[in-house]
Amino acid sequence: MYIAICDDDKQYLGKVDKYMQDIQKTFGDIKWRLFERAEDVWEYYKRNGNKFDVLITDIEMGEMSGIELANSVRERDKNVIIFYMTNYTEYAVKCFRAEPLNFWVKPLSYEIVSEDLQRAHDRILKSREYVTIIENRERKDIKYNDIIYLETWGKKTLIHTCRHDYKTNKSLSDFQRELDKDRFVRVNQTYIINYEYVRDFTKNSIEIYDVNGSMPIGRTYMEDWRKGFMNYNRRRLLEK
């Protein structure tokens, strides 16, 4: 989950940054970028595309307000989750054009921020039919159905799909937390596989379509594999 945080109050921006550091200990795969001006966030969007999953913005800021920023971002990105921060509750009605998930009144409560980001994280994962990576500074969305398996490659992860192989700095453990557990399972330290592409299996190994040879099932991953594959096949039968 990648978050843009914008507030022209440096002291308050630092406070939210500290919250993020504490929340990261729970989420693990959360990342964020700090901005002091709404104009800078908007310029970043125009240069780099829709890279953020969440936008957290103060309302009263410089020439461009947080409301103007959120409305501009919403027109460009229908999926971004927005949170407003403000000292003034009278802004609430104007804010809802951008369909924010919540409206935070300062001083922020760590518990509220943490709970709301958990809600945002859950919503993102449930709504996704793809994983998002950055490859060669470009955002790429890879559909779940196209992913055959993922493997560690040095300090990077390779994503093998039906059409193309992708390389990303995101770790296999990050993908393990992010991917739909009804579709994917980690079978050892090196591989995460898509149940859909399992061709055959034995007690200790798995064969995948379009892959030569078999993948060993690690002892510590054996139980997750067995339960997951059994549930996957049960769901397929119910869908027929």
Local confidence pLDDT in tens for the 240 residues of the chain: 899 999 999 999 999 999 999 998 877 678 999 999 999 999 999 888 778 999 999 998 889 999 999 999 988 888 899 999 987 666 555 566 667 788 888 888 999 999 999 889 878 776 678 888 888 888 888 988 889 999 999 989 999 998 899 999 999 999 998 888 888 999 999 999 999 899 899 989 999 987 888 999 999 999 999 999 998 888 777 654
Q: Where are the beta strands (DSSP E) in the chain?
A: 2-6, 31-35, 54-58, 81-86, 102-105, 130-135, 138-143, 147-153, 156-161, 165-168, 184-186, 191-194, 198-201, 205-208, 214-216
Tokens 């859950």, located at residue: 122
Q: HSE of 186 in the Cβ direction (CA atoms, 13 Å)? A: 17
Residues, the chain, total? 240
H helices then E strands: how many in the chain?
A: 7, 15
Omega of the bond leading into 100 within 30 degrees of 0 (cis): no
Residues in contact with 7: Cβ distance below 8 Å, sequence separation at least 6, in sequence order: 13, 16, 36, 57, 58, 61, 85
Nearest CA to 4 out of 76, 103, 80 is that of 80
pLDDT at 220: 95
Residue pair 221/213 in contact (Cβ under 8 Å)? The answer is: no
Q: CB-based burial of residue 77 (10 Å sphere; 0-12 exposed, 13-18 middle, 19+ buried)?
A: middle
Residue pair 130/143 in contact (Cβ under 8 Å)? The answer is: yes
pLDDT at 90: 60
Looking at the DSSP bridge assignments, the partners of residue 141 are: 132
pTM, two decimals, is 0.57
State residue 109 phi and psi, 5-degree precision.
Answer: -95, 130
Specify the 3-state DSSP secondary structure of 44.
helix
